[in-house]
Structure 1
Amino acid sequence: MAPSAYIDTYYSRTVATSETYPAATGRIEADVCIVGGGLAGLTAALKLARNGRKVVLLEAQRVAWGASGRNGGFVSAGYATGLSSIQRRVGKDQARELFRLSMEGVEIVRRTIDELAIADARLVPGIAKALRYDSRGALQASCESQQGEFGLKLRYLPRDKVRSLFVSSKYHEAILDEGAFHFHPLNYGRALAREAVRLGAAIHEHSPVTSADLEGARKVVRTKDAEVRAEHVVFATGGYTGAVLPALKRAFLPVATYVLLTERAPDLVQSAIRTRAAILDDRRAGDYYRVVEDGSRILWGGRITTRTTDPRDIAALLRREMVSTYPQLASLKVEIAWSGLMAYARHLMPQIGQFAPGVWYCTAFGGHGMNTTAIGGTVIAEGITGESDRYRLFSPFGLAWNGGVFGRAAVQLTYWSYQAADAAREFRSR
């Protein structure tokens, strides 16, 4: 694979446009330098450009090259950790405010797709959260509670309805979030880049940052061939973060997840999945999947690991999960499979804030990235322009040490414990 290419995924195979952006060269003056061209950095760049700021964005590879452009494409409210965990840390009122902000993140993405007429984002409404056990009324109560407290467009699905949509004996009940949606994240990210450039932002691909001087009124960010001077620097990197800002690299864990795309087989796919809504398995160690290309293929994701190199056969690992859920898909072949690194903080919340005067960070979106990248880019841009200080809502979830090798071990052990707990709960529901 050439260094300049996107990895081979469903999204790169169906990318809508082919524009590229030149590497940074020479001495460049800017109001804001953004390091990282994923969805958080691109959202911030677009908002700042709309506010008349001179923006320079430096991306080591291609825009939306990392997790931003190769994920499951799910956009729904919430965070990687649950509302109860957030409440224990910050109290009920701030937890509610943070959750409403997560809902706003969904609407930011939806509104941007509408305003920029991004037809190639291929927005499809609906995400179902499905359970592999009988919650004995708890799921329905949770549905009604969230409807009442936050006004979410949720619909409870009992077992008969669930199994008419997802033809699998594994599922017992579900909540359908009709306000959530799924889409093509790479086409979306590239559209953000085009609009930011149209408004005057400068985007430079193949421009990894090698060093930065972050003291003083004018910060200096360097690549191999360029030097960018700016009043503000935003680090909007993710699972591929380097060591330019050591505190940032020490504060997240790179976690890999895997995705496959099946062959085109509309009748066979329809025998298992009879809805265009995406499915999010409720297990912490679970799967997420949806049909694409008018229901003729399945895009199936799952498994997480702290191992950053790919296993020998990603496709076989994921296919086993798919067929164990839908035995009728035993003959369905896998066309392609890929992986990507996400950034997780130990507290499972995004890391959004100000590191020092004029130095900002916006990362750790693993597990719930599509709405939270939109939030992160938006509130950091608001902080830079003085429009709001909403980024301070995330202050309790700062750059805590990731635990190093012990942190990685703890994450992997936690994942395995989730798998065991999920299996035990499903066994009791048989």
Structure 2
Amino acid sequence: MFMQMIDGTIVITALPSITADLAASPRAQLLMVSGYALAFACTLLTAARVGELVGRRTMFLASVLVFTAASVWCGISGSATELVLARVVQGSAAAGMAAQTIAIATASFPRRDHPRVFALYGALAGFAGALGPILGGALVTADVFGLGWQAIFLINLPLGVLAGALALRYLRLGRPARRERLDLPGAALSTLSLFALLFALTDIQQNGWRPAALAVIAVALGGGAVFLAQQRRGRDPLVRFDLFADRRVAVGSVLLTVFFGLFTAFVFAVSVTVQEVLGFTPWRTGLLMTPFAAGACAGALLAPMLVRRWGVRVLTAAITAFGLWVAVGAAYLHATDGTVSVPLVLGPVFLAGLSVGVFCIPLQPIMLSGLGQRQMDAASGLLPTVEQIGNALGLALLCAVFFRAHTLAGSVTMFAALSAVALGLGALTRALPEPAR
């Protein structure tokens, strides 16, 4: 999980160095980031079902092996095109790991321990996502063994070996008693529809609202409608609609989608603004974002206790506070004309990270609190898919509408838009029921 989340964001800070070394075009730069997310999102549902068929342990181990090999391929890539291809393979393998995580966690621990398990799960996810840009800047600046940007991928080699060894030693999971078939038409429809939608949004982010991209979106939405209709009639569907009968899952899925889109767009906007607009080095960028990661970690530790005492209101307050801190950041950039005092902004950056940690960590446990074990197995592929769709949608839509020009004015506009989305998300959390006891 740590590797999977890190590799979603670690490339962002290292992108200028990769671009200079591989002479990457703007389109290739975008695909280095979005290709991973595209492959990840499009294969999660299928990977979750394959895990049910062959066994979670087997699927997890195979995915760790492929992910580690693909990371090495990324690190030795000699061209931008090769790196994009390696990132796609890496994203597919990451999906194979991530699609098993919830099912493994719920099967490995008794129900009474699930709140703590998911708190750790969410804390690690939030911390790793925030740590990615920091680690990327540190590795590029340190130039470990003269590897430069290649170190951000090759670091997965020892981590992958460790993860595989631990899984071989400690994962002891049996196959499900009821064997289901793999819905091949559903897998094909979901993969192709998601890929078309997310690829078109990625194109819009770079080239604007062109007729060709809009046509692809229309085709993707049509394919998605056919997929949903096919799933309702199917005997062993990839998506179990009974999950959405639980209001926590239904409302939480919307919150997850919007939040992960907001968070990914925020990290991207910060990295571009700080490096391209303000002229920070990757190392200084990492230092600036360190309080954010520390705040997210602190928020993760506080969140379960706060939710137990005050319930869903904590989520409302946290995401609203994040929106307000982002608005303060936009106003500060505008007022100072881009002259940033790093010591002055460290406190607000920490508090923004704290708000994110308090919001995102309890959300999944609240969503899953009313489900049985069988339903949690089904959610193992669904929830990461929702998150990744949010990642791609948020990054593409927000950047296409508000952040086409990487200028100070464009940055201020983008942060103002992110603040507005966060405040709207705060209002939406009021529709989320309290967690089941």
TM-score by length of structure 1 reads: 0.27
Q: Please state which structure has a larger fraction of its residues in helix.
A: 2
Q: Please state which structure has a larger fraction of its residues in strand.
A: 1
TM-score by length of structure 2 reads: 0.27
